[in-house]
């Protein structure tokens, strides 16, 4: 559940922010509604946040141990040997 929230939250942040603006504006007596929402800008901002989040995730991802040859899982003597990466040194 938390993982899904983290995945979808960057897209919905601009909409949540606009909703907070509408609620605050109405409380202060100003005219604000969802009908006049800048849908294109909110969607664009949400997509931009998703792309930025993906780029940050890619940049900080730990890629150690990915050099070498991948050996897929296999069945040996009736038991499953999990997949692993063999380094080029072996």
pLDDT at position 64, please?
67
Residue 82 pLDDT exceeds 80: yes
> Which pTM was predicted?
0.64
CB atoms within 10 A of CB 67: 10
Q: Is the dihedral of CA 48, 54, 55, 56 positive or negative?
A: positive
Residue 39 pLDDT exceeds 80: yes
- In this prediction, residues 64-90 reach a mean pLDDT of 84
Distance spanning both ends of the chain, measured CA to CA? 41
* 14 — pLDDT class (breaks 50, 70, 90): very high
CA distances from 48 to 4, 24, 35, 57, 66 (A): 18, 25, 23, 14, 29
Q: How far apart are CA 49 and CA 14, in angstroms?
A: 9
Compare 30 and 89 and report the one with higher pLDDT: 30
Residue 65 pLDDT exceeds 80: no
pLDDT tens by residue, 43-63: 999 999 999 988 888 888 777
């Amino acid at each position: 559940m938390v993982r899904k929230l983290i995945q979808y939250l960057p897209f919905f942040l601009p909409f949540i922010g606009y909703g907070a603006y509408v609620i605050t504006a109405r409380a202060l007596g100003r005219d604000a509604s969802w009908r006049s929402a800048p849908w294109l800008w909110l969607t664009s901002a949400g997509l931009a946040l998703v792309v930025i989040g993906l780029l940050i995730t890619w940049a900080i991802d730990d890629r150690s141990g990915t050099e070498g040859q991948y050996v897929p899982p296999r069945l040996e003597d009736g038991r499953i040997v999990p997949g692993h990466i063999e380094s080029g040194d072996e």
